[in-house]
Structures are given as structure tokens and as C-alpha cells.
Amino acid sequence: MKRALRRRLGFCACAVLSAHALAFAADATKAAAAPSPSASATDGAASGTSAPSASDAAAKPSDAPADSTDTRGSAMRTYQTALANQKLAPTIPLSVQRLRDDLGEIEEKLSSGRRDEAIADLVYLVESDRFEAFKDSEEGRACVFWLGDALARGGAFQPARGYLTRLLAGSPTDTWYRRAVHSLVDLALESDEGERVSKDLSGVPSSAPDEVTGDIAYLSGRLADRQSKPDDALAAYARVSEKSRFWAQATYLSGVIEVERKNYPKGEALFCKVADPKLTPKKAPLFGGMDFFRVRDLARLGLGRVAHEQYRFDDARYYYYLVPQDSDDLPEALYETATTRYEAKDYDGARRAIDDLNKLKVNHAYEDETYILDAYIDLATCHFPAADRKLDAFLKRYEPVRDAARKLTQDDAAVEKLSESVRTGSDAAAAGLGVPEETARTLGALVRIDADYGRAARRLAELDHQMRGLRSAMGELDQASQKLASPKAVRGQSDTPLGQSDLDKVERIESQIAELKRLIRDAERGGNGKRAEDLDALKKEISALEIRARAARAALPPPSAKAGKTGADLAGVISNDRARATALYNDAQTLRIAVEAESLGLAKDALVRLDRRLSRLLRRARLGRIETVLGKKRSLEMEVDALSQGLLPQTIIDSLDAARYLHDDEEFWPFEGEDWADEYVGGEGVR
């Protein structure tokens, strides 16, 4: 139990406390579920052209070092100069009122998910020479903040840091200063940029408002925690004030560290500060928002686990009981209540908790373990037939799930589909896994996708999103070049029919192969031995097709551009950027392979761990069935012993009770009428 306790607390620490930051990156993650676009237009425009080498100095992706806060604004200013030279630069002067009007539209775009458009509008404003006069105004700082924040949400951390740190030159009491710190801290918690952001924030004075210093202290604590420096982490968490949105998280994590050190009273006191409304500072829920209440539920679970660890079973039950009915953690609380009562030998209490859990009728991550515990409670209360029935049902239900988990680890496409379905919360039965619907749903409920997978998937999603946008940008650059070459020309229809580019075709082939694999899994499920031989031959054919599809994808020509002018004029700048875009796209494709492999590896790991868990539980179920047989035998022996001593077993005594023979949906109404002695007939004349 000790190991389980520490592990579980650790799990909570990483999975739930990043909830705020997870919301921060939700947009980028969602993009992963989007179907891949084809590239007919950009590819079509490029397909007939010879690919120039990207050896030009301008085609180098960037000269910015790996750790940089360069906003890449100089490239935009080159455009501005080139446009001005051709008298194409905007001539209408900027004004505070115009900035204010534009900001309204930009904020509306950001709130409706049109982030890329908002970034473009903001770059247009902020990287203009005309903006210099307004950069320190309220509206100017707002523009810089929204640009940095939007870039950070899109995964472009380097330029985001560049814009956000600009705002740190002002007063710490300024709204945009504070918002920039919040945004940077969110970025650091969610990304791997923690150390760098921490350096960026080192200039924030200690006299800054509590909410600002609290954010920074919390970030320091999390970083120290990641580096396994618990003392530093505790010191940092202690600096988070109640006016910080992270007060509950910091206090809870301090409790986790104390518990890990086996300093239970201190850990418990810290958990209590969050869990008990009387001990919580009044302002903490106000500043903490919705996350505060999620952490409060966790703190109550933590208290229960600490009490359980110390064999204070009644206290543990009380703490678990405090988790509210509408909490996401309720199934966990009920399951652990049942475990606690079982260990306390209060089998009725354990039974009630299990019944409450089953009444929720929700899929949860403890479904399988609940089954086993339920049966073991029956075993403990000598209800051997019921225990046997439950264990048998468990074996019938979960053996196919375990087998399916093993099979799916061999199929990358299926693993991806399942992981995405679990991560996005969609129905796993509709993911096309090629396993029975019920098995797919059970798999979806049991696979415990950890925060690491979420981070890896988010990286992939961000990269995909930017690559799709880059395709669009390449098309726009081609159009811009064409416009400069012949201003009156209009864009012609693409030579390639819609959806018929090489990339489209390869993507269709890959989806067909994935579908074929699903059909084979379907056939295997319903097939007999003879058909399995035919399926083996089919599988070999599909493997060969997969290799060919991979080769076709590798042979796809990279999107390329015509060799254009070079130089400082607009056409030259556009041509340089087009070559740069091509080089970036090729680099991104190479990087994507590595990022995808990592994400897939983590998804497979989740399935392998599920296999291990189910195998353990299946072994436990089989042992339990042996115990039910032994129990039945022992109860028979006792019954025989009792009979030999003249004692009738309870089952025989109760056989005279009419209510015993009723089903659950029947009711026994004993005769309650009056007994009229004078109407009694049948006894007259009997002597």
C-alpha cells in the first residue's frame, strides 16, 4: 500500500496539477484530431517546377540560436522597407483610436479560435515602423501582449518569449506586465522552456504584487520538483501567497513532498489547509478559480490515503466521504473507501461503497480492480457462489480485453486511433480498432494515458498545425510573386484535379491500409483455424503494401519554388522567403518523424502497462476461483459436522419461511385477516 500511495500521489501531482496549463494548450492539441489536408494547390503549383537547391543563404531556416527570444521581427521590417520602396507601404497613420478598434476585432478573433488570423493582424501592426510611437501606450502594450500570448498558445515559444519579455520593462503593477508574467508562467509549466522562462522572469522585483511573485514562486517550485530538489521546492511553494492563483496547487504539492518524506502529520496539515474550508484562506478560492476545487478534491483524497497508510481506517473513510458527488474523483474515492473498509474487515461497509460505485454507471479507470475487490468481499463474507460468479464474469470480460491490448501494440495505426480517442474523450468503439465494441470501450476506459503522452501528442499537433499553415503561406508567396510579375493577372485554376495530388493519393493509400488491417482483425475475431491460414497470407500482403506506401511517402517531392530574383527589392525578399519556407517545410517533415515516433512509443507503453495490469488481475481472479472452491468445500464440511451433532443448517431452518422462495420482484403478504372462531368448521363432532 505504501508504494501505491506514493505512486498515486505522484500521479496526481503530474496529471492534475497541470490542468491549468493543459487548458492553455487545448487549441493546439485539438488540431491533432483534424484530418490531414491534401496539398493540391501548393503542390500543384510546385509540381511542375524544378526544385532549386536551398543552398542559398536566404534559404537557411533561421540564424536564431536554439535558445533565443528573437521575434524574427527584422524579416518583417525588411518587407516593410521593400514595400515602401515600391510605394506599397500603408500610408494611413496609426492612432490610438485605430489601435483600440483593431484590438477589439483581434480579441474577438482570438476568442472565436481564429488565432492565426489574429497573429497576422498583430504582426502587421507591431512590426510596423509606425508602431514605435505607440509601443508604450496602453493599446500598444496590449497589442504586444496579445501577439506574444497568441504565439505561445500556437507553440511558437521563442518569438512568444521575445514579445512577452518586452512588457517586463514596465511597472510590475501594470496590467500588461502582470498578464505577461501569467502567460510566461503558463508557457513554462506546459512546455520544456521552464528554465529559460525562469531566467526571463528573474528581473521581476520582489516588490511586485503577490499574484505576480506567487506565480514565479510556484514555477520555481515546480522546476525544483522536476529536478528532484524537494527542499528548494518546499521553500518556493511556501512563498506562494493566498492571492496567487496557484496557492492550492503549491500547498497540495508541499503536502505531497512531506508525505513522500514520511512526515505524515505535516503533510496532513498541509492537505487540510486546502481540504478544509475553515482552514483555507478566504481569498484563495477567489483567486484559484475552478482549478482550486479540483485541487481541493485531490487534497481530500490525499488525506484519505495518508490515513489509510497509517491504518486509521475510519479517518480515511471520512476523508474519502468529503469528495463531493459531482467531482471527477468520486469513483476513485469510492473505490478507495471500499479498499479501506475491506482492510478494516468492515465488509458491509466495503460492500456499500462498491454498490455506490456501481450505481454511478460511469466508465472509470478502476473498473477492472473494482470487479476483483467486489468478488473478494464476497469471498471474505463466505458468499462463495456469488464470488465465483463474479470472478468468472471478470475472466470472460477481461481476457479478450487483455488479448486485444496485446494485439493492438503490434499495429501502429490502431494504437494511434485508440490513444487519440482516449485523449479527446470520444467513443473508442467508433475508432475503428477492429475489436468488439464492448472490448474497445473497456480498453478506452482502462488505458491510463499519462501526462507525458499528452505533451508528446501536443508537440506533434503543434508541428502539424504549423506545417499546414506553412503550406498555405507557400501558396500565398507564390501568388504574391505572380502579382508582382504581372499585376493584372488573376490566379488560374490549379492543373491538378481536386484531391489528386501525390500527397492526397499517398494519404488515401495509407487510410485504405489501416482499414484493411481493421477488417483483418474483425475477420480474426470471427474466424476459425482454417480461415486463419488465409488471413496470414493476407497479412503478409498488407505488410508488403505498407512497405510500398512508406516508400511512396518517402519519394514524395518536397514542395519547392521556382528560382526567383534575389536582392533587397520586394520580389527578391519574397523569393528568399519562398526558398526559406521550402527549407523549413523539409526540416519540419524530418523532425515530425522523430516527434511522431516518440508519441507512438508512449501510447504503446500505455497499452503494455495495461496488459501487465490485466494479467495480474486475471491471475488474481483465477486464484480467487480456487479459493471459492476451497471455501465451498469447507462450508460443506462444517455443515456435515453440524448435522452430525444434531444441528440443522440455517438453509434448512429457513426453508419453512415462505418469503425465502420469492424472487426479487415478488412480495409476500402474510394473512392479516381476523380469525372468527365461531365460523370454524370441520372440527364438529370430532372427538
The interface with another protein within residues 131-160 (CB under 8 A) comprises 151, 154-159
What is the C-alpha to C-alpha distance for residues 84 and 447, in angstroms, rounded to an integer?
A: 58
* Among 362, 382, 393, 430, contact with another protein (rule: CB under 8 A): 430
What is the C-alpha to C-alpha distance for residues 629 and 639, in angstroms, rounded to an integer?
A: 15
CB of 663 to another protein, least distance (A): 30
* Among 83, 322, 395, 556, contact with another protein (rule: CB under 8 A): 83
CB of 316 to another protein, least distance (A): 14
* Site residues (CB under 8 A) for another protein, limited to 87-116: 88-90, 112-114, 116
* Among 249, 251, 466, 575, contact with another protein (rule: CB under 8 A): 466
Angle 15-18-23 from CA coordinates, rounded to 5°:
115
Phi, psi of 351 (to 5 degrees): -60, -40
Q: What is the DSSP string of 189-227?
A: HHSS-HHHHHHHGGGS-TTS-HHHHHHHHHHHHHHHHHT
39 and 498 in contact (C-beta within 8 Å)? no
State yes or no: residue 613 binds another protein (CB under 8 A): yes
Cα 119 to Cα 23, 115, 123, 168, 306: the distances in Å are 20, 6, 6, 21, 48
CB of 477 to another protein, least distance (A): 6
What is the C-alpha to C-alpha distance for residues 332 and 676, in angstroms, rounded to an integer?
A: 60
In sequence order, which residues have a C-beta less than 8 Å from that of residue 119 and are 6 or more positions away? Answer: 147, 150, 151, 154
CB of 331 to another protein, least distance (A): 16
In sequence order, which residues have a C-beta less than 8 Å from that of residue 599 and are 6 or more positions away? Answer: 453, 456, 457, 459, 460
State yes or no: residue 7 binds another protein (CB under 8 A): yes
State yes or no: residue 499 binds another protein (CB under 8 A): yes
Stretch that binds another protein, among 76-84, 92-100, 290-298, 323-331 (CB under 8 A): 76-84
* Site residues (CB under 8 A) for another protein, limited to 45-64: 61-62, 64
State yes or no: residue 493 binds another protein (CB under 8 A): yes
State yes or no: residue 186 binds another protein (CB under 8 A): no
* Site residues (CB under 8 A) for another protein, limited to 258-297: none
* Among 76, 523, 538, 563, contact with another protein (rule: CB under 8 A): 76
* Site residues (CB under 8 A) for another protein, limited to 619-638: 619-620
Radius of gyration of the chain (CA): 33
* Among 17, 59, 127, 233, contact with another protein (rule: CB under 8 A): 127
**Per-residue x/- track, 539-578, another protein (CB under 8 A):** -----------------------------------x--x-
* Among 181, 250, 316, 463, contact with another protein (rule: CB under 8 A): 463
What is the C-alpha to C-alpha distance for residues 379 and 373, in angstroms, rounded to an integer?
A: 10
In sequence order, which residues have a C-beta less than 8 Å from that of residue 494 and are 6 or more positions away? Answer: 40, 41, 44, 45
577 and 75 in contact (C-beta within 8 Å)? yes
State yes or no: residue 373 binds another protein (CB under 8 A): yes
Stretch that binds another protein, among 231-239, 319-327, 537-545, 603-611 (CB under 8 A): 603-611
CB of 426 to another protein, least distance (A): 7
